[in-house]
Amino acid sequence: MTRRIATRRRIAALATASAMTAAVAAAGGAPAYAHPAHAASSTVVHVVEHAVTDTEVPGVGGKDVKGNILTFNNPVFNTPDKKQIGHDEGFCTRLQVKLGIWECLWTTFLKGGQITVQGPFYDTKNSTLSVTGGTGAFENVRGQMDLKSLNGGKKYDFTFELS
C-alpha cells in the first residue's frame, strides 16, 4: 500500500469517527466514548425506545403462532429518557412460540442518519442484534446493538456499539 493511500484511509477513518460523534451529540444522546475492546475505532450510541405502537398481525393460525408478524413505529428518546430524538420502524417474525423467539429487522432514525439492525428478540430475556449498516453520519457502520427490556416491555434500552 502506498503512503498516499494509507494517509487517505486514516483521514477517512478520522472523518467518519468525527461525523458519528457529532451525530450522537446533535441527537442529544449520551456522549460517545470508545469501547475498550475497540479503543481507536468504536462509538456508542444509547437511546430508549417507547414501545407504544407494537402490533402483532396474526396469520392463519391466530394470535401468537409461528409466522405471525409484529410491526412497530416507535419514538426513541435520549439516555435520560426526557427528550424524543428520533423514531424507529420495523418488523419481527415469530419463529418459536414456546421459546419466545422473534427474528427482527428495524431502522432507528436519528438526527444525522439511520442505523439498521437485524437479529433475535426474546419474550423473556435481553438480546444482541447485528448492526447491518447506516446512512448519513452512520454510513458504513457495523457492530452490534444490545437490547434490554425496561418497565415490563413498555420501553427498551438500545445500546449501539458502532465501528
Q: Where are the alpha helices (DSSP H) in the chain?
A: 3-27
pLDDT in tens, 58-108: 988 899 999 999 999 999 999 999 999 999 999 999 999 999 999 999 999
Give the pLDDT confidence of 100-143 residue by residue, as tens digits.
999 999 999 999 999 999 999 999 999 999 999 999 999 999 99
Q: Is the dihedral of CA 105, 144, 129, 142 positive or negative?
A: positive
Torsion of CA 54, 130, 19, 6, to 10 degrees: -170
Which residues span the domain enclosing 118?
Answer: 3-162
pLDDT at 60: 82
Is the distance from CB of 128 to CB of 147 less than 8 angstroms? Answer: yes
134-156: pLDDT as tens digits: 999 999 999 999 999 999 999 99
C-alpha angle 14/17/22, rounded to 5°?
A: 125
Domain count, the chain: 1
> Could you tell me the CATH number of the domain that includes residue 13?
2.40.480.10
What does the alpha-carbon distance between residue 73 and residue 82 come to, in Å, rounded to a whole number? 19
- CA–CA–CA angle 93, 144, 84 (5° rounding): 80
**What's this model's pTM, rounded to 2 decimal places?**
0.77
Q: CA 156, CA 121: separation in Å to the nearest integer?
A: 11
C-alpha atoms less than 13 angstroms from C-alpha of 54 in its C-beta half-sphere:
14
